[in-house]
Amino acid sequence: MKSSLPSWVCRGLFALWACLVASPLVAELPKLKLTHVWPKLGFKRPLWMEEAPDGTGRIFLLEQQGRIVILPKDRTATEATEFLNLVARKPYVQDEEGLLGMAFHPRFKENGKFYVFYSQQDPLRSVLSEFTVLKNNPDKADPASERILLQFLRPFWNHDGGCILFGPDGKLYVSHGDGGKRDDPLDNGQNPSSLLGTILRIDVDTRTGALAYGIPKDNPFVGRADARGEVWARGLRNVWRMSFDRKTGALWAGDVGQDKWEEIDLIVRGGNYGWRAREGFHPWLKTTFASTEPYLDPVIEYPHLPTLAAESQFKNHGHGLSVTGGYVYRGKKHPSLQGVYIYGDYKQGTVWGLRHDGKALTEYGELIAPNPIRLVASFAEDGDGEVYLLGFEGKIFALEPAK
């Protein structure tokens, strides 16, 4: 039967239908550009940035070698204020070591407490400590106020994780990598009695037994003889940056892969994210531990090589070598970005976005094209929910729609 519609209309409708059926997930997310902010300031390997939750609007930035500085309110100024200096302790020896994380106590305004995560040698370890601001100067930390909460002994120099965050529940979440080397040789990720290859959840305001912190009673492995009560989630290789969605409270993490797949995970209580038994959605190595929980798949994965894309359900994603987890955009300036989880690849400089409706991935796409000059060390979020990119070469960029 001959159609009454002109043929070009039919072709157009067919193309639209084919597009919707064939690739419902590939979306036209807004293209972004990077705007250099604080252009007169240079930093050494900036790894984290956060606004103090005390109403002062002060933004703190962390350098890998062991410094925390307060950025000037005037973004054209030429000097930052040094807040804490741990350089003499030499946290930064090998590439992945250093001062890696910082978090403000939820009641920072009243108690001046904040937390840092840094590497130390002899023995190799990662230290999680509490510090307090000087009573007579809110722009200076008291270096003598250190209270060590936890030390992770680690077998190798790399995969240290080091992202620390307070959740909406007021508990401190701490990521630590699997302990390093290839293939997680000690099988830490699947060992429920290891603190490595995990995200921990602890209470900095209470104490459990002789520990310098409390283990919340509703943690998933509390009371299990073969497991550590601090563990919130495990089977993670090396979470490089995680964040809470400030609207939904969901915990997002970028877990760095080894040979083939980078992944983004939604972290849930007691979740086992598969490493070293799985890399991304794919079986990897045998593990000596039988998991009592099913392995949880990532929200999305991307390959190290374009030729691997055929093995993934996520076509046209783009490739990279080391994921950097970011933030769900909840700012006010850019409505087109609302609800987009922003993440990137450290090595390629690519920035992607995805949307997730709480149950499933609904959209994903490239936001900024590959640019290997700008290594994506971390993302950051200010008090208004505006998102930034920290370039490893020492620059801070605001993320903004390209038009």
Cβ of residue 265: shortest distance to Ca ion, in angstroms? 6
Q: Binding mask 5-24 vs Ca ion (x if CB under 5 A, - otherwise)?
A: --------------------
Cβ of residue 184: shortest distance to Ca ion, in angstroms? 12
The answer to whether 313 and 295 are in contact (CB under 8 A) is: no
Using CA atoms, how far apart are residues 15 and 296, in angstroms rounded to an integer? 36
Cβ of residue 326: shortest distance to Ca ion, in angstroms? 18
Nearer to Ca ion, 284 or 397 (CB): 284
Residue span binding Ca ion (CB under 5 A) among the ranges 138-146, 169-177, 202-210, 265-273: 265-273
Cβ of residue 263: shortest distance to Ca ion, in angstroms? 5
Using CA atoms, how far apart are residues 255 and 114, in angstroms rounded to an integer? 25
Nearer to Ca ion, 114 or 273 (CB): 273
Please name the helix (run of DSSP H) or strand (run of DSSP E) that holds residue 397, with its range, or none: strand 396-401
The answer to whether 301 and 281 are in contact (CB under 8 A) is: yes
Residue span binding Ca ion (CB under 5 A) among the ranges 95-103, 185-193, 266-274, 332-340: 266-274
Nearer to Ca ion, 178 or 386 (CB): 178
Cβ of residue 273: shortest distance to Ca ion, in angstroms? 4
Nearer to Ca ion, 119 or 272 (CB): 272
Cβ of residue 281: shortest distance to Ca ion, in angstroms? 8
For the beta carbon of residue 31, count every other beta carbon within 10 angstroms.
15
Using CA atoms, how far apart are residues 336 and 19, in angstroms rounded to an integer? 22
Nearer to Ca ion, 229 or 274 (CB): 274
Angle 243-244-248 (CA atoms, 0-180°, nearest 5)?
150
For the beta carbon of residue 400, count every other beta carbon within 10 angstroms.
16
Nearer to Ca ion, 20 or 360 (CB): 360
Site for Ca ion in 316-335 (CB under 5 A): none
Nearer to Ca ion, 267 or 380 (CB): 267
Nearer to Ca ion, 274 or 349 (CB): 274
The answer to whether 67 and 86 are in contact (CB under 8 A) is: yes
Tokens 């593990």 belong to which residue?
287
Tokens 């009641």 belong to which residue?
107
What number of chain residues touch Ca ion (CB under 5 A)? 2
Cβ of residue 364: shortest distance to Ca ion, in angstroms? 17
Site for Ca ion in 108-147 (CB under 5 A): none
Cβ of residue 178: shortest distance to Ca ion, in angstroms? 11
- Reference 364, options 17, 79, 27; nearest CA is 27
- Reference 273, options 352, 202, 184; nearest CA is 184
Cβ of residue 278: shortest distance to Ca ion, in angstroms? 5
Q: Binding mask 268-297 vs Ca ion (x if CB under 5 A, - otherwise)?
A: -----xx-----------------------
Nearer to Ca ion, 216 or 274 (CB): 274
Tokens 């919707």 belong to which residue?
20
Beta bridge partners of 389: 379, 397
- Reference 172, options 205, 212, 143, 131; nearest CA is 205
Using CA atoms, how far apart are residues 135 and 111, in angstroms rounded to an integer? 10
For the beta carbon of residue 315, count every other beta carbon within 10 angstroms.
11
What is the contact surface with Ca ion in residues (CB under 5 A)?
273-274
